[in-house]
A and B are shown apart, each in its own frame.
Chain A
Amino acid sequence: MTVDLSVSLGDVSFKNPVFVASGTFGYGTESNDLVDVSQLGAIVTKSITKHPREGNPPPRIVETPSGMINSIGLANIGVDKYIEKMIPVYEKIGTHVITNIAGFSIDDYLHVLEKLESSGGNVCGYEINVSCPNVDTGRMEFSVDPKSTRELTKALRSATKKLLILKLSPNVTDIGEIAAAAVEGGADALSAINTLFGMSIDPATRRPNINTNIGGLSGPSIRPVGIASVYKISKAVDVPVIGIGGITSVKDVIEYLLAGASAVQVGTANFRDAAIATRIINDLGTYCEENDIATICDLIGKVESYD
């Protein structure tokens, strides 16, 4: 039987629901020796900012039980270089590219988005990072406040007709409320979750293991938080949700889809195995064949919840 793995977000159709997450796959071409990126549902780029950024001082990462904490600090080449160096490469990359944008004010985000709009490049949409825990200014300001989230989304919506995705933080009291605010502002879809606050300390030196003391926790240890967040968001709003957090296998993808995700992003696992998302895509086809699922959309939100 032929399985239809395609999914839609806004007006964009993706060949399959498995993307790679922002900050875990560079600009999309670093792993060309190891993986055929054209097989991916989409590539979400590193966060792009108005100006280039060096990022935070080392140490920036540490392994934790079934996870890791990072504090990279949005190191990136800046929007001008991104347009010059990367946008031409995306013409022939063979899959959709979603540019992740970060900023510290509405004007910052608008600046990046407007430049990308006028570049006319092959970018199918934008994922807005309102939830990076690792920068000093504007720390989580947008993602924890429904009003700011709504205003930012509205401003960006008026500047583009392309797919507009807001990436939400789990470090809030009610993620459903923030999700609703983003949808009111005009978001086409929502990504959840970004990293959780995390900290680890070396008992021998009494020093935190990363330079900013607290960083962003990711990896399999946060998967249940991601799944619960997707479940809550999909109950709160009617736009598609992209599930992120600790995906390492096809089973994890199925969990996210059942919880209400229309697509997923593989993150931390890319650091261990740059080809893991493409293997999961193959496994997803096999899973559907073995379970008589003709179209992947049939799984979305089909969790049989307790009353």
Chain B
Amino acid sequence: MIVKKMIAEKGTVLNNEEIAHGIYQMTFSAERICNEEPFPGQFLNICVDDSWEHPLRRPMSIADVNDNQLSIIYKVFGEGTKILSEYKNGYSIDLLGPLGNSFGETEGTTPILIGGGVGLSPIIWFHKVLQTNGVEHKIVVGAQSVNEHFLSHDPEENIYLTTDDGSVGEHGTVMPTVKKICDEVENPKLFSCGPEPMMKAVHLFVNKFDFPCELSVESYMGCATGLCQGCVIERASNSLKEHSYHERYSLVCTDGPIYQAKEIVFS
């Protein structure tokens, strides 16, 4: 992996709109961060509040890069994302990035991208990159209902939507569709980012059938740069040695956020 430099940069908001119910896309200028050539899976740590009422930045995966502009797609679910949803065009946005590692090898596989809710950004961007590179792949996006979708269900174009209420696409979670696709394609490799129940289901499934899989892990972060040691996830190769450091727990911010499914356990 190429080690990229962390950049602290004040961007300018160019667009911030609700693209589906409760789901926003924000685009901003960020020339210096773009110069570091971020790749799908990498994230930004965004200061949402100039005051210190919310002292911690919010980690947000990058959803697109276009010349000197970056996008994020985010779901409003707490105070930080609520504040972010109220940013107007022209506002200054305090960014740190690009952070973390990125999605890996797809050669010799059929990539199946699985996303939903808070985890759409890296999946949407990876989808676009694979399209641009002419890599045949499938994308499965889950939501509660049609209101939360901004893509169109189009299996002929390899885009599959699922909804809990059956209001568009396949009725139910993403898993039946994912299983069906895995049965049909050669050498499936899964790439997933989404809410915890989705990630746990994908994790269980790939471990059972021994499919290669990369998960983009969500974690509460203090700094996103390795200072605070707050964002750990348990490694599967947990040896439970009495005296160790960084063997049982991995730092999602600097080791991740992308992990091979086999590397980690969800508690």
A: residues with CB less than 8 A from B are 23-26, 30-31, 33-34, 51-55, 57-63, 65-68, 70, 72, 75-78, 81, 219-220, 248, 268-275
Contact = CB atoms under 8 A, between A and B. Distances in A.
Contact of B230 (A60, A81, A248): A60
B53 interface: yes
Interface in B176-232: 219-223, 225-232
Ranked 7 nearest A-B pairs via Cβ: A61-B230, A52-B245, A51-B243, A271-B223, A33-B6, A54-B248, A220-B52
B249 A75 contact: yes
Nearest to B242: A51
Given A66-B52, A219-B55, A58 B226 contact: no
Given A53-B243, A76-B245, A272 B47 contact: yes
Nearest to A268: B55
A30 B227 contact: yes
Interface centre among B6, B223, B244, B246 (most CB of A within 10 A): B223
A70 B222 contact: yes
Nearest to A20: B227
B168 interface: no
Main secondary structure of the interface of B (DSSP, over half): loop
Nearest to A65: B53
B225 A274 contact: yes
Contacts of B233: 58
A220 B54 CA distance: 10
Given A55-B249, A57-B234, A269 B229 contact: no
A81 B229 CA distance: 18
Contacts of B55: 63, 66-68, 219-220, 268-269, 271-272
B56 A68 contact: yes
Interface centre among B8, B222, B243 (most CB of A within 10 A): B222
26 contacts: A53-B245, A54-B245, A57-B234, A58-B231, A58-B233, A58-B249, A59-B220, A60-B229, A60-B232, A61-B228, A63-B56, A66-B55, A70-B222, A72-B228, A75-B245, A76-B245, A81-B245, A269-B52, A270-B227, A271-B56, A271-B227, A272-B55, A273-B8, A274-B225, A274-B227, A275-B8
A44 to B, nearest CB: 13
Interface residues of B, number: 36
B247 interface: yes
Nearest to A53: B245
Contacts of B245: 52-54, 75-78, 81
Given A55-B249, A75-B245, A219-B55, A68 B222 contact: yes
B75 interface: no
Contacts of A76: 245
A36 to B, nearest CB: 13
B249 A61 contact: no
Contacts of B56: 63, 68, 271-272
B132 interface: no
B244 A54 contact: yes
B149 interface: no
B267 interface: yes
B118 to A, nearest CB: 16
B220 A62 contact: yes
A58 B27 CA distance: 32
A272 B49 CA distance: 11
A268 B227 CA distance: 10
Nearest to B224: A271
B67 to A, nearest CB: 23
Contacts of A24: 227-228
Contacts of B226: 26, 30
B243 A78 contact: yes
B137 interface: no
B82 interface: no
